[in-house]
Amino acid sequence: MALRVIFMGTPEFSAATLQAVADAGHEIVAVYSQPPRPAGRRGLELTKSPVHLLGESLGVEVRTPTSLKGEDEQAAFAALNADVAVVVAYGLLLPKAILEGTRLGAFNGHASLLPRWRGAAPIQRAIIAGDAETGMMIMKMDVGLDTGPVALTERVAIGPDMTAGALHDALMGAGASLMVEALAQLEAGTLTLTPQDEDGATYAKKIDKAETRIDWSQAASDVHNRIRGLSPFPGAWCEMEFGGKAERVKLLGSTLADGNGAPGTVLDDALTIACGTGAVRLTELQRAGGKALVATDFLRGAKLAKGEVLS
């Protein structure tokens, strides 16, 4: 028999799991997502989240509360008489009454190898830290922050030049498949839960704007990891001078390169930039108001001479 599922998620990352759960034949009794947010150039249009739009296309009731702490919301949740809640990047704190508001509890798809990188930005933090691998984990939620027992794990390698965007997509597909497997085992009564080991627990705090400016005095490996860990969003950046005017440029791709020099110095015509130790070669950049371009195309419209210093 199919499970009665309440799905809770917001971004594209979550929508992949919602689609996979629906395709597996489970009954989606309601979808919870973040309320529509202002978007567009002027921020005047209220835009529904990817999960909200998918829920509507599946013909499922979509609920967008701003909080789940109230008794009325909790009663409405329990009244759905669901077997399980599936939670992927929802964005709201789930009180104990919600976690216990279904027959089998709430199961979360989390994009890290718990207990490493609990919290809001596990994909970006794993790359910025230089981790060689990460993964998706399905855990049963408790009242702590990503502290519940783990059911299933799938490891994913992080390539040397892999960006957060590419890792996001790899984990999105892995997470969708893993959640379907977890629900199948849950339905069959064969899903086992293993408590997390608190040793090695780290917190993946939200990315702060102050972290996005590149510090060329850092080691090349740290600069490279920051560039790819923040690509494509929010994007690491530095200032370059064009026509005597400093301009902020997003750095969306890089690779480690040979070279030494004063930090921030352009070492050649291929956008190799000296760091505190070593160098990186910039491979994808974006000027303000422009498109993201590979380095060769970027240099056609933005000349940077050897010896110039980026800040």
- Binding-site residues for (6S)-5,6,7,8-tetrahydrofolate, in ranges, read 112-115
Q: Which of 127, 120, 130, 146 is nearest to 204 (CA)?
A: 120
Q: Which of 69, 75, 151, 139 is nearest to 110 (CA)?
A: 139
Q: State residue 29 phi and psi, 5-degree precision.
A: -85, -20
And the tokens for 140? Answer: 């049963």
Binding residue numbers: 112-115
Q: How far apart are the first and last CA of the chain?
A: 61
HSE-CB for 60 with a 13 A CA cutoff: 26
Q: Is 252 helix (H, G, I), strand (E, B) or coil?
A: strand
CA 140 – CA 195 distance, rounded (Å):
10
Contact of 276 with 218, CB cutoff 8 Å: yes
